[in-house]
Every structure is written in structure tokens, then in C-alpha cells.
Amino acid sequence: MKLIAGLGNPGSRYAESRHNVGFMVVDELARRWAADVTRYDRHFEALCGRTEACGQTVFLLKPATFMNLSGRSVAAAWRYYKLAVSDMLVVHDDLDLAVGQVRIRSAGSAGGHKGLDNVIRHVGTDEVPRLRIGIGKVHRAATVDYVLSRFLPDERPVVEEGVRYAADAAVHWVQSGIAAAMNQFNRRQNGESRTDSSEPDS
């Protein structure tokens, strides 16, 4: 079984905001796999759904705890299903990547992302596979307003492509594991086709 948790903030106020690209990726996976992620589960404090995909049972999760408490929800599902940490993929936004860029890591620090940091704290290890989608850089003093803002009209096509690419990466992770997904999808994307690039991540 695999767990894919997209991080974000619940409610219409935050829908489609930069901070919610993790939710967007889960929604794209749910669309592809005809899964329902609209059911609220009190035990997991999340909108979630279970489906069969790529020969695996996949549990999709969108925490309703608000971003900074995401770990409470993610860890509850992780523990309930008695999964290895390697069977969990956390999808979240990243301020250090250009809009729409995608990177996968098998472990490491939270890099200042409070949602991922909370997941790491609740799970008890930083060896949490994560899939990051860039939302663009901004001065740290303006971070809060920026991450809660919506994408500009000219950014929408780029982030939509990034969400689709991230969903492709998540599918590959389910099929082949983190190392294969990193090798296939961690590529320089500036001025290149996402599907044609063969250059490894720097």
C-alpha cells in the first residue's frame, strides 16, 4: 500500500492558492484514477480516498488541519495502515523553485516548509520521500502573504503543467519507487521540454 499526502489549507478561502499545490496534485491523481477524495475522515482529520492504481492500493490524503499541523493528519494515516516511511510520499509547494518546477527527494530537512517540518516531527524521521512543486521565489518578509495568494494569470498554464508533471512523477513513484522517480523526473526544466530532457538534476 502507498500513501500520497498533498499538503495545503482547507476551505474555499485558500483554494487554488500557491500553498495548495499539494492539494492540486492529489486532485489530479484522483481525477486520473477515478478516486473520490471528498470524504472527510475524523480519525485522519482529512479529506481522503482509497483506490487501486498501478497494481497497488493507494491512499490519497488532503489534511484538513491547516498547513502547520499537517503532520498530525499524515502520521495518523501512516500509523493506521502500518506503512514504512518509504511507502509515503508528501507533496508540497516550494519557494526555492521556479513556478511549476518539480523536484523529488528521498530525505532531508524541511527546508523551512512548516507543513513538511510538522510531518517530519510526527513521523520521527526526516527520511520522508517528498515531491516539491515550485511556486516562485519572494523576499522572506513577504512569505506569508505570497504563499496564500493565487497564481497570476500568466503563471496558471505553467503551474497547471507542473501539477500534471508532478502527478506523472507520483505515478512513477507508485510503480517503480523513489530512486526511479528521482532519476526520471529530477531534470532541469528551464527552457526545456519536461518530457524530452535527459539532463540530471544538479
Number of Cβ within a 10 Å radius of residue 190: 7
Q: Provide the annotated active-site residues.
A: 19
The continuous run of DSSP H or E covering 85 comes out as none
| 60 backbone dihedrals φ, ψ, rounded to 5° | -100, 135
Which string of DSSP letters, residue by residue, matches 127-169? ---EEEEE-----GGGHHHHHTSBPPTTTHHHHHHHHHHHHHH
Which grid cell sits at 166? 508532478
For 65, the 3-state DSSP assignment is coil
For 42, the 3-state DSSP assignment is coil
Helix axes 114-123, 70-80, angle to 10 degrees: 40
